[in-house]
Amino acid sequence: MPTTPATAANSSSNGTGEAILLELVDEGGRTIGTAEKLAAHQPPGQLHRAFSVFLFDERGRLLLQQRALGKYHSPGVWSNTCCGHPYPGEAPFAAAARRTFEELGVSPSLMAEAGTVRYNHPDPESGLVEQEFNHLFVGMVQAPLDPDPEEVGETAFVTAAELAERHAKDPFSAWFMTVLDAARPAVRELTGPATGW
């Protein structure tokens, strides 16, 4: 993946071992400062910029990932293809593409913006809070996956009907349905009406 000033300054490989910073925003999504990642998620949470990616295969199936058991926040639960936080100064689109490659070893195709959504979701297991201004992206996955086991436990491609069944029995991230529902108009435009999204 290309290196930008934002990614270079925040890369864990730069040898500094500095804390990861998130971009704090106001209710309109305007940057107002930064906060350390874990501190931003401590109750009651600080509103910060995030992104969520929804990638589909050629059959219109959504790629889900199960978050690795070692993650500090929402481990072991299923969620959308990829989600995370831009580094301060990093464009959300660039962050979404970067993080998708880091977690799943694949670059999205035809990725497009799908709006934003603001939410406040406490995680009952960890006690952490997601106060996020989330940028949504939809696209295609057209190459074999190579997931990073430190980030991803499992992956699955599901139809809309299969997702409904899975969501009824498996644990999902607290924010999953909020971001999916907000992205649905763009998802339908990408996958077509026959897929049922």
Query: Mind telling me the catalytic residues?
Result: 83, 132
Contacts for 168 with CB less than 8 Å, ≥ 6 apart: none
Contact (Cβ atoms closer than 8 angstroms) between residue 44 and residue 129? yes
Q: Where are the alpha helices (DSSP H) in 42-159?
A: 92-104
The structure tokens listed for 115 are 């709006």
The structure tokens listed for 42 are 């401590």
CA atoms of 12 and 117, how far apart (whole Å): 29
CA atoms of 71 and 84, how far apart (whole Å): 12
